[in-house]
Structure 1
Amino acid sequence: MFNPVRARCLQSLLACAMLLSSYAGAAEKLAHVTILATGGTIAGSGNSSTTTVGYTAATVGVDRLIAAVPELAKVADVKGEQVFQIASENMSNEHWLTLAKRVNTLLAQPDVDGIVITHGTDTLEETAYFLDLTVKSKKPVVLVGAMRPGTALSADGPINLYNAVLLAASQEAVGKGVLVALNDQIHAARDVTKTNTSTPDSFKTPELGLLGYIQGSKPYFYRQPTRKHTADSEFDVSKLSALPQVDIVYGYANVSPVALNALVAAGAKGIIHAGVGDGSLATSVKAGLVEARKKGVLIVRSSRVGQGIVARNGEANDDELDFVASDTLNPQKARILLMLALTKTNDSKQIQRIFYTY
């Protein structure tokens, strides 16, 4: 016999079950993001709430970083892993190789949708570009840091971390290479640089422009990288235990060849000349660079200016000298690309192709 009360109860139970199912489905749709912590100011602490310089970097572990931003649970299923705990001025080639291999291992897993790397800002742009050249996945990889320690008033680390996880969990970031997220902005690893010693808006992409913004818990892209990166890169570090020695020689008025000659004598396989202007070569160092090239050392002309193209055969006859022009890469990023290029070839023409490709 039909029982209307019982029927209504069954309908209510069915509605509740469907509601719970929808909640479960929504939870399952959250992207799985792994946070790899390396230290830096974002994990730093100061003596007081007004200490924004003179603090100690790399004192807070990844679990505390995650716990400090409970809102992360709304945008991703987050896991944390402490890879290093260092101030980023101590980042080394060995750290980069370890990090790249770990990122590639994680991204090869179906249950990892994106990676966030917390990092000190001093060398963040370098690590980002190294990973941009060595990560073998289109899944998002986002580097994030902070200009103020977590103990400071208006600390920027928590919101930066939230935005980075949000970005790494998004479909919009897929295939755009390694990204850098600070100050509500999205930058490409190749072009971003630190421009101020201490202010929260330090990270910028001069001239070429940032890629987009994060606003209202959503990433907005207006540009995308055009140079090859990540899954399309020719570089493979999976079997590398070391990188070739490449050093930077800085140009300035009355420059001495002493530093250049010392670096070559110490075994440099490549030299980045951070010249004045359009990568100009002072007479006092040109002879040393020419002699180093004759010994097999690769020479790349870059510029200390920080913006613009270093023109091939512009301030020096690169064809005659067998030098390489850095294009728009600043000296520290030119060093990274040359190190990786030297794992593939010693041919300067091929290395010039690489500099115009990445």
Structure 2
Amino acid sequence: MTVALFTLGGTIAMADAGAGERGGAVVPRLTGADLAAAVPGLDIPLDVHDTQSVPSPDLTFRGLLDLVEQASKAVRAGARGVVVTQGTDTLEESAFLIDLVWPHPEPFVLTGAMRNPTLAGPDGPANLLAAARVAAADEARDLGALVVLNDEIHAARSVRKAHATSTAAFTSPDTGPVGHVIEGTPRILTRPPRRTPLTPGPAAPARVALHTVTLDDDGHALTRLGEDDGVRGLVVAGFGVGHVSSRLAPVLGDLATRIPVVLTSRTGAGSVLRHTYGAPGSESDLQRRGLLNAGLLDPYKARVLLRLLLMTEGATTEDIAEAFTRYA
């Protein structure tokens, strides 16, 4: 059986633009066939679909949901699994969005590269080979979306890009990787529980703001949010376990009467707490004011989940709160 390969561009597909073009910088140019041809020892047949060729900041919610539909068709046609190559800048968000909606047991594996093919030691070929082997592995079934780079296998729900340039940029700070590719063979070491996939509603992806709390933050920039700018939700990246200043707390509480406001931590690992601290601006106080607890989800993943939930017409704050309890 084949593995379906969908290419979206990114560093893994970069080539030299030429000295007279964009200052000689690299741009997305390589096709899926080019990527496959550069992989030594590739022994898994790939059914190549060149979907886009863009830097990953140009990927969109709607485009990724359309990609899931195309991947579903490939699986229904007999593909053993799916591999997507894209830029690493937004890979953790793409993977989580896909994981929330992917309905099949077949593996959906995302990969990319930190070193473009013009550099010494590009990691794209090794990452693509490892991703294809994971996508074809029976052991990887029923794990949803996975991220494979540097011979590590990460669950989409946990993975983060934690370094700007290192080939070991992707980590899962709360859990570690779910497995490794060892001598070309995927080894799954732990199996996180699979959650029921969400079905996106027909509405356009909602506009959701993200506010990172900082020292001496009074929230003035947030006071009119959601009134006339089309913003339908807010994710707050608070201090530590989910704290803000006592000055910011009533601003967030007022917003929570108008739009869903989700509380996360800006730290990069660990959970927002629920009932340990009680001072104004603490997690307990913010929940009393109507903020929704995102648990272990980082701010970026919480924003993905909230946008997806808001695509369903008639979704209430209670529906959204229940979904965050299940998925966070």
TM-score by length of structure 1 reads 0.82
The C-alpha deviation readout for 1:217-272, integer Å capped at 9, x for no partner, is 100111112251xxx31x113x6362122121111112252442464242211100
- When structure 1 is superposed on structure 2, of 63-72 and 347-356 the one drifting more is 347-356
Please say if residues 166 and 217 of structure 1, whose CA atoms lie closer than 8 Å, have aligned partners that are also in contact.
yes
Aligned ranges for residues 17-36 of structure 1 at < 5 Å?
A: 31-36=1-6
Residue 268 of structure 1 aligns with which residue?
A: 231
Residue 13 of structure 1 aligns with which residue?
A: none
Residue 356 of structure 1 aligns with which residue?
A: 325
> Could you say what secondary structure the match of 2:68 adopts?
helix
Are residue 153 (structure 1) and residue 153 (structure 2) matched? no
Residue 99 of structure 1 aligns with which residue?
A: 67
Residue 8 of structure 1 aligns with which residue?
A: none
Task: Give the Cα separation in 2 of the matches to 1:262 and 1:195.
Answer: 33
Please say if residues 180 and 186 of structure 2, whose CA atoms lie closer than 8 Å, have aligned partners that are also in contact.
yes
Please say if residues 225 and 255 of structure 2, whose CA atoms lie closer than 8 Å, have aligned partners that are also in contact.
no
For the structure 1 residues 257 and 193, does the alpha-carbon distance in structure 2 shift closer, same or farther, using more than 3 Å as the test? same
Could you tell me the percent identity over the aligned residues? 31
Task: Give the Cα separation in 2 of the matches to 1:252 and 1:91.
Answer: 28
CA deviation after TM superposition for structure 1 residue 283, in Å: 3.3
Given candidates 17, 30, 38, the residue that maps to 1:60 is: 30
CA deviation after TM superposition for structure 1 residue 177, in Å: 1.1
CA deviation after TM superposition for structure 1 residue 301, in Å: 0.3
Given candidates 156, 159, 165, the residue that maps to 1:192 is: 159
Residue 108 of structure 2 aligns with which residue?
A: 141
CA deviation after TM superposition for structure 1 residue 347, in Å: 3.3
Task: Give the Cα separation in 2 of the matches to 1:32 and 1:227.
Answer: 24
Task: Give the Cα separation in 2 of the matches to 1:274 and 1:147.
Answer: 27
Residue 240 of structure 2 aligns with which residue?
A: 277
User: Highest Rg: 1 or 2?
Assistant: 1
Task: Give the Cα separation in 2 of the matches to 1:107 and 1:312.
Answer: 41
Please say if residues 207 and 307 of structure 2, whose CA atoms lie closer than 8 Å, have aligned partners that are also in contact.
yes
Please say if residues 57 and 149 of structure 1, whose CA atoms lie closer than 8 Å, have aligned partners that are also in contact.
no
Are residue 108 (structure 1) and residue 92 (structure 2) matched? no
Residue 20 of structure 1 aligns with which residue?
A: none
Task: Give the Cα separation in 2 of the matches to 1:331 and 1:178.
Answer: 19
Task: Give the Cα separation in 2 of the matches to 1:90 and 1:284.
Answer: 36
Are residue 40 (structure 1) and residue 10 (structure 2) matched? yes
Please say if residues 142 and 194 of structure 2, whose CA atoms lie closer than 8 Å, have aligned partners that are also in contact.
no
CA deviation after TM superposition for structure 1 residue 318, in Å: 4.5
Q: Give the length in aligned residue pairs.
A: 314
Task: Give the Cα separation in 2 of the matches to 1:275 and 1:206.
Answer: 18
Are residue 178 (structure 1) and residue 145 (structure 2) matched? yes
> Could you say what secondary structure the match of 2:94 adopts?
helix
Task: Give the Cα separation in 2 of the matches to 1:322 and 1:212.
Answer: 38
Residue 202 of structure 1 aligns with which residue?
A: 169
Superposed CA RMSD: 2.0
Please say if residues 322 and 348 of structure 1, whose CA atoms lie closer than 8 Å, have aligned partners that are also in contact.
no
Task: Give the Cα separation in 2 of the matches to 1:175 and 1:86.
Answer: 30
TM-score by length of structure 2 reads 0.89
Given candidates 321, 328, 332, the residue that maps to 2:296 is: 328
CA deviation after TM superposition for structure 1 residue 37, in Å: 0.3
Which structure shows the bigger proportion of residues in helix conformation? 1
For the structure 1 residues 254 and 35, does the alpha-carbon distance in structure 2 shift closer, same or farther, using more than 3 Å as the test? same
- Name stretches of at least 5 consecutive residues in structure 2 with no aligned partner: 19-23, 277-281
> Could you say what secondary structure the match of 2:140 adopts?
coil
> Could you say what secondary structure the match of 1:287 adopts?
helix
Are residue 86 (structure 1) and residue 48 (structure 2) matched? no
Given candidates 159, 184, 191, the residue that maps to 1:224 is: 191
- When structure 1 is superposed on structure 2, of 279-288 and 111-120 the one drifting more is 279-288
> Could you say what secondary structure the match of 1:290 adopts?
helix
CA deviation after TM superposition for structure 1 residue 58, in Å: 1.8
For the structure 1 residues 184 and 68, does the alpha-carbon distance in structure 2 shift closer, same or farther, using more than 3 Å as the test? same
CA deviation after TM superposition for structure 1 residue 320, in Å: 2.3
Residue 191 of structure 1 aligns with an amino acid whose one-letter code is S
Please say if residues 313 and 319 of structure 1, whose CA atoms lie closer than 8 Å, have aligned partners that are also in contact.
no
CA deviation after TM superposition for structure 1 residue 176, in Å: 1.0
Given candidates 203, 219, 229, the residue that maps to 1:257 is: 219
Task: Give the Cα separation in 1 of the matches to 2:127 and 2:287.
Answer: 45
- When structure 1 is superposed on structure 2, of 286-295 and 147-156 the one drifting more is 286-295
Residue 246 of structure 1 aligns with which residue?
A: 208
Please say if residues 143 and 194 of structure 2, whose CA atoms lie closer than 8 Å, have aligned partners that are also in contact.
no
Residue 21 of structure 2 aligns with which residue?
A: none
CA deviation after TM superposition for structure 1 residue 112, in Å: 1.2
Given candidates 290, 294, 306, the residue that maps to 2:268 is: 306
Task: Give the Cα separation in 2 of the matches to 1:305 and 1:252.
Answer: 12
CA deviation after TM superposition for structure 1 residue 282, in Å: 2.2
Residue 267 of structure 1 aligns with an amino acid whose one-letter code is G
| Deviating 4+ runs (over 6 angstroms) | none
Please say if residues 94 and 241 of structure 1, whose CA atoms lie closer than 8 Å, have aligned partners that are also in contact.
no
CA deviation after TM superposition for structure 1 residue 44, in Å: 1.4
For the structure 1 residues 38 and 218, does the alpha-carbon distance in structure 2 shift closer, same or farther, using more than 3 Å as the test? same
